[in-house]
């Protein structure tokens, strides 16, 4: 089932304080992850977290980034 854009916009507006936007970059199809960027919309200045392979991309750092986000029961 495909839900209309209006559903997703409403869901986002109602849960913006617990929202997390995620961008995953790889070296190509079926290649290792190189960068994960997380954007947490907030009032004022949004929080942006960049996890880079060979620097700070780790399971612990990814878990920590997701720790402040709650799952929604609205789906």
The answer to whether residue 75 scores a pLDDT higher than 80 is: no
* Count of alpha carbons within 13 angstroms of residue 17, beta-carbon side: 2
Domain coordinates in residue numbering, the chain: 18-66
* Dihedral over alpha carbons 74, 45, 40, 4 (to 10 degrees): 40
What value does the mean pLDDT take over residues 16-30?
Answer: 88
With 0.75 as the threshold, say if the pTM is over it: no
Q: Residue 34 contacts by C-beta under 8 Å, 6 or more apart in sequence?
A: 25, 26, 27, 52, 53, 57
Taking residues 31-39, what's their average pLDDT? 94
């Amino acid at each position: 089932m495909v839900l209309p854009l209006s559903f997703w916009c409403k869901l986002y507006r109602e849960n913006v304080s617990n929202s997390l936007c995620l961008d995953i970059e790889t070296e190509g199809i079926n290649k290792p992850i190189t960068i994960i960027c997380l954007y947490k919309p907030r009032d004022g200045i949004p929080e942006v977290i960049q996890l880079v392979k060979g620097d700070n991309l780790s399971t612990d750092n990814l878990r920590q980034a997701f720790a402040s986000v709650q799952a929604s029961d609205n789906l």
